A and B are shown apart, each in its own frame.
Chain A
C-alpha cells in the first residue's frame, strides 16, 4: 500500500479500503449493540406482554395509571432538588478551593475533595445507610447527646435518597466548577477592580456570569445521571416512594414484563431528550 504520493495533502484522500477498515469495527459495534438493541426495545414496547401482537397498551398504561405518573413526578422532583442543592453547596466550595487555598495546596485539596468519588457506587450508597440507619451513626450520636429520645426515620426516605445523590454530585460539580473558575483570566477581575467594583460586585457581575455556562453543563450532567440512576434510590430511598428506574427494574424483576419495561425506559429517555433540547442553547455557549 503506497501512500507516498499523498504527502502534499493535509489529509490522505479517502476512497481506499484502509480508512473504512479502521472505522468499521467501532461503527459496527455501535450499530449492533447500541442501535439494534434500541430498535428491539422500541418494537418490544409496542407488543403485548401476554401473547405478543401490536398494542399501545404499555404506553397508555403509563399515562392512565396514577402510580406510574407518580414515579415520574418523584423522579423529576428528586432530580430538581438534587441539582439545585448540589450546585448551591459545590459553588462556594469550588470558589474557596480556587481562590482561598494557596496555589501549591490546590491540587491536593481538590484530590482530597473528590477522593470518595472513587469508592464503588454501590458501596457509597451503602455507606450512607450506615450513617442514616435507625441505629446508625447519626441516630446513636443524637440519642447519646440526649437531643432526641427516639431514633429519627432517616433511611428509606426521600431525604436519604437526596443526601446520597447530593454527596456524589457535590464532588462532580466541585470538579467542573473549579476547572471553570481556574480558566477565568485574572485580567477580568483586575479590570473590574480598576473600574471600581468591590469584590462582591466583581463576583456578581463578572465571575458568576462567566462561569454560568459551566454551571449549566454541570447541571445538565447532574440531571441526566440522577434521573437515570437506580442504585441510590433503591438502597437509600427504599420502596416507599418509587422513581422511574425503580419502576423499570420492577417490571423486569417481578413479572418479566419486558414490553412494559421497554416502554417506561423509552418514556424516561424522551424526558431526558426534552431536557437536553431545553438546555441546548446554554450547552452550546460552552463550546464556542
Chain B
C-alpha cells in the first residue's frame, strides 16, 4: 500500500513538473533553431537568433528602457513605501487604519483598470504617452507592495534600537539614516527586488501609457504579430535568464539568513 502511494506520488509529481517545464523547454530549445520557424524538427543548435536580437536596436533600446523604468520606479516605490511605513509604525496618526487601507488599496485592483484610469486621466490632462507615464503607473502598483512588506517588518525590536539612539541624542535624520535604514535593509531590499521583478514584467500599463519609446514586454508583444518566430524565442530566453539570475541572487543573499 505504502509503495503504491509512493509510486503514484512520484508519477504525479513528474507529470506536473513536465507540464510546468514543457513550454519553457520548448521556448529555449527552439531559440537555438537554425531555420526560420520555431517548430519541430529541431535544426540547431545555432546562435543566429540571439545575434538577431542583440543587433535589433528596437529590442535593445526597449531593454534599456525596461531596466530604467524598473530601477527608477522601484526606487520611488521603496522610498515612498519606506517613509510612510516608518511614519505609520512609529507615530500614532488619526485615521491611521483608514489611511493605511488607502495606500494598500491598489493591490486589489487589476493592472488593466489602473492603466485605464491613468490613460483617461492623462488624456484629459493632456499628458502625453511616455515612459514617464508608464513609470508613474508602476509606482502605483508597487508602492502598496513595498509599504506592506516594510510595514509588516517594523517590530518592537527596531523601536527599541531607535529609542536608544534617541536617548543618546541622535537627531531624527541621523536616526533614519544610521539606524532605521540599516536595520530595515532586508525588508527594503525585498520591497525593491519585488518591485523590480513586477515592473520588469509589467505589460498592460506600459502598453496603454507608452507610444514610441516603450518597454521590453511591449516590444515583445509587437514581435508576436509576426507569428511564431525564433527571434521571439531568443529574446524570451534572454529575459528568462535575467530573471533566473535575479532570483538566485535574491535567494542566496536574502533568504539564506534565515535557517531553512
Chain A positions near chain B (C-beta within 8 angstroms): 1, 3-4, 6-7, 10-14, 18-23, 25-27, 29-31, 33-38, 40-41, 44, 89, 92-93, 96-97, 100-101, 107, 111-113, 115-116, 118-124, 126-131, 133, 135-137, 140-141, 144, 167, 170-171, 224-225, 227-231, 235, 245, 248-249, 252, 258, 261-262, 265, 268-269, 272, 276
Residue of B26, B91, B105, B118 near A131 (CB, 8 A) is B26
Nearest A residue to B89 via CB reads: A11
Whether the pair B119, A228 counts as a contact (CB closer than 8 A) is no
Whether the pair A127, B236 counts as a contact (CB closer than 8 A) is yes
User: Secondary structure at chain A's binding surface: helix, strand, loop or mixed?
Assistant: helix
Whether the pair A100, B9 counts as a contact (CB closer than 8 A) is yes
Whether the pair A96, B13 counts as a contact (CB closer than 8 A) is yes
Beyond A4-B167, A245-B112, A261-B116, whether A30 also contacts B106 by CB under 8 A is yes
Whether the pair B23, A131 counts as a contact (CB closer than 8 A) is yes
Binds A, one of B43-51, B53-61, B137-145: B137-145
A residues within 8 A CB of B3? none
B residues within 8 A CB of A268? 110, 113
Residue of B88, B92, B116, B239 near A119 (CB, 8 A) is B239
Whether the pair B12, A92 counts as a contact (CB closer than 8 A) is yes
B244 CB within 8 Å of chain A: yes
Whether the pair B114, A37 counts as a contact (CB closer than 8 A) is yes
A residues within 8 A CB of B19? 167, 170
Nearest 3 A/B pairs, CB to CB = A228-B110, A37-B117, A22-B87
Whether the pair B240, A129 counts as a contact (CB closer than 8 A) is no
Interface residues on B, range: 35 or more
Nearest A residue to B21 via CB reads: A116
Whether the pair A97, B13 counts as a contact (CB closer than 8 A) is yes
Question: Complex: how many Å from CA A7 to CA B121?
Answer: 46
B191 CB within 8 Å of chain A: no
CB distance from B53 to the nearest CB of A (A): 13
Tell me the B103-129 residues at the A interface (CB within 8 Å): 103, 105-106, 108-114, 116-121, 123-124
Residue of B87, B144, B147 near A19 (CB, 8 A) is B87
A residues within 8 A CB of B16? 89, 93, 113, 170
Whether the pair B87, A130 counts as a contact (CB closer than 8 A) is no
A residues within 8 A CB of B81? 26
Question: Complex: how many Å from CA A6 to CA B119?
Answer: 46
Whether the pair B244, A118 counts as a contact (CB closer than 8 A) is yes
Beyond A29-B140, A36-B121, A44-B120, whether A12 also contacts B232 by CB under 8 A is no
B182 CB within 8 Å of chain A: no
User: Secondary structure at chain B's binding surface: helix, strand, loop or mixed?
Assistant: helix
Total of A-B residue pairs, C-beta within 8 Å: 253
Whether the pair A26, B93 counts as a contact (CB closer than 8 A) is no
A residues within 8 A CB of B232? 123, 126
List, sorted by A's number, 5 A–B pairs whose CB atoms are closer than 8 Å: A30-B105, A41-B116, A100-B13, A115-B244, A123-B240
A residues within 8 A CB of B204? 230-231
Whether the pair A123, B203 counts as a contact (CB closer than 8 A) is no
Whether the pair A130, B38 counts as a contact (CB closer than 8 A) is yes
CB distance from B116 to the nearest CB of A (A): 5
B residues within 8 A CB of A269? 109-110, 113
Tell me the B2-60 residues at the A interface (CB within 8 Å): 6, 9-10, 12-13, 16-17, 19-24, 26-27, 30, 37-41
- Interface mask (B169-187 → A, CB under 8 Å = 1, otherwise 0): 1011000000000000000
CB distance from A163 to the nearest CB of B (A): 9
B243 CB within 8 Å of chain A: yes
CB distance from B79 to the nearest CB of A (A): 8
Nearest B residue to A225 via CB reads: B110
A residues within 8 A CB of B10? 100
Beyond A7-B163, A167-B23, A268-B113, whether A122 also contacts B247 by CB under 8 A is no
Whether the pair A14, B111 counts as a contact (CB closer than 8 A) is no
Beyond A23-B99, A40-B117, A119-B236, whether A14 also contacts B93 by CB under 8 A is yes
